[in-house]
Amino acid sequence: MSENEAETFLLEKGEVLVFWEGFSTFGKEMMRDKVMKMDAKYLLENYGRFTIDMYIFDETLTWTVIFQPEEDEDGFEHILLRVV
């Protein structure tokens, strides 16, 4: 997904669940075994304050959007996984 596609998809969801891998000591202590619920718009407006490796989904567990710093084989940093 492009960044715009990821943002559009998430904004349609409203409230989302999110977790990330904490690499710093603070990040590890703050996020260990935690999933946060927040408004997708708030998350996207503050994404850079949290982390660059993030996993976003909702209570249906039918999709996950992954924000990652590495590009995949198609050159995308934003990946959408859907459960069919």
Q: Compute the distance between CA of residue 3 and CA of residue 21 in angstroms, rounded to an integer.
A: 20
> What are the backbone angles phi and psi of residue 68, rounded to the nearest 5°?
-140, 155
Q: What tokens were used for 7?
A: 């943002």
Q: Is the pLDDT of residue 25 over 60?
A: yes
Give ∠ CA 45-39-76 in degrees, rounded to 5: 55
Candidate ranges 6-10, 31-35, 65-69; pick with highest mean pLDDT: 6-10
Task: Return the pLDDT at 27.
Answer: 64
- pTM for the full model? 0.79
Q: Is the pLDDT of residue 84 over 60?
A: no
Task: Return the pLDDT at 20.
Answer: 80
Task: Return the pLDDT at 23.
Answer: 65
Task: Return the pLDDT at 24.
Answer: 63
